[in-house]
Amino acid sequence: YMLLSAAPHAAKEATTVLLGAHAMMSNGRLYSRVGTAVVAMLAHARAIPVIVCCESVKFTDRVALDSIVQNEIAPSEELLLPFDAAAAAAGVADGGSLAKWKETPGLQLLNIMYDVTPAEYIDMVVTEFGFLPPSSVPVVHRISTERDVRT
């Protein structure tokens, strides 16, 4: 068990990487929790296979090139650690923690929720239909939605 900052150390010893998905974009990119792209990038650099497990219902028409244009931002307070949040609530003048970040002009805490992993980092997508390459995502999406429309 390691934190994301130790991911390169984990990647040294891994033989396979399994990732979950929030969505799969039609250009083959994976839209998943922030940090997924980091793991995929490190695995790709070491030629470790990256496998995404994703139901076809999560496939979408949308395309994304980067993680900035379409994303969600979670409340910044989540980045504060429990003692920070408690200190903020209590108004404690502990300058060392981020408790008073709102009062500091120019300081923003950015807590993005998702990131987009480029398709070339993904080797295989596992769906209820079987195994696919990421480039098949739009095809499967179209077929499954057409089927729904027809029935």
Partner 1 sequence: MPSVMLAPTPGIATFLKHLKHNPVDASIENFVSLLKRRQIRSSRPCAIATTHLLLKVVATFRDRDVAKLVERIRSVGQQLIAAQPREMAVGNIVRRVLGLVREIAEDDADENPDSTSMGDSGYLPYSNLEPSGLPTHFSNFSPPKHGSALPQKSGLSQSDSNGGDDNSGQGAVAVEKQLDRRPPLLTSHTSYVASAMAPQVTSLFGLLSHPHTPSPTATPPLGTQSPVMKPGLTSRVLATIPDASAAKVDIKAEVLEGIRELLDELDQADDQIAAYALDHIHSNEIILTHTSSTTVQRFLLAAARKRKFTVIHAEAYPNDYLETHATIMQGRQKSAVGDDEDERWSPLTALGITVIMIPDSAVFAIMSRVNKVILSPHTVLANGGLVAAAGALTIAQAASVHKTPVIAVSGVYKLSPVYPFDTEELIEYGDAGRVAEFQDGEMVESIEVVNPLFDYVSADLVDLYITNLGGHAPSYLYRIVADHYRAEDVNL
Which residues 6+ apart lie within 8 Å of 113 measured at CB? 33, 34, 71, 72, 73, 74
Q: Which two tokens stand for residue 59?
A: 């496939």
Selected binder of partner 1 within 27, 60, 67, 70 (CB under 8 A) = 67
**Shortest distance (Å) from residue 80 CB to partner 1:** 9
111 binds partner 1 (CB under 8 A): yes
Q: Are 141 and 56 in contact (CB under 8 A)?
A: yes
Among 16, 104, 135, 145, binds partner 1 (CB under 8 A): 104
Largest CA distance in the chain: 63
**Interface contacts to partner 1, rule CB under 8 A:** 1-9, 33-35, 37-38, 41-42, 45, 66-68, 71, 79, 95-98, 100-101, 104-112, 114-117
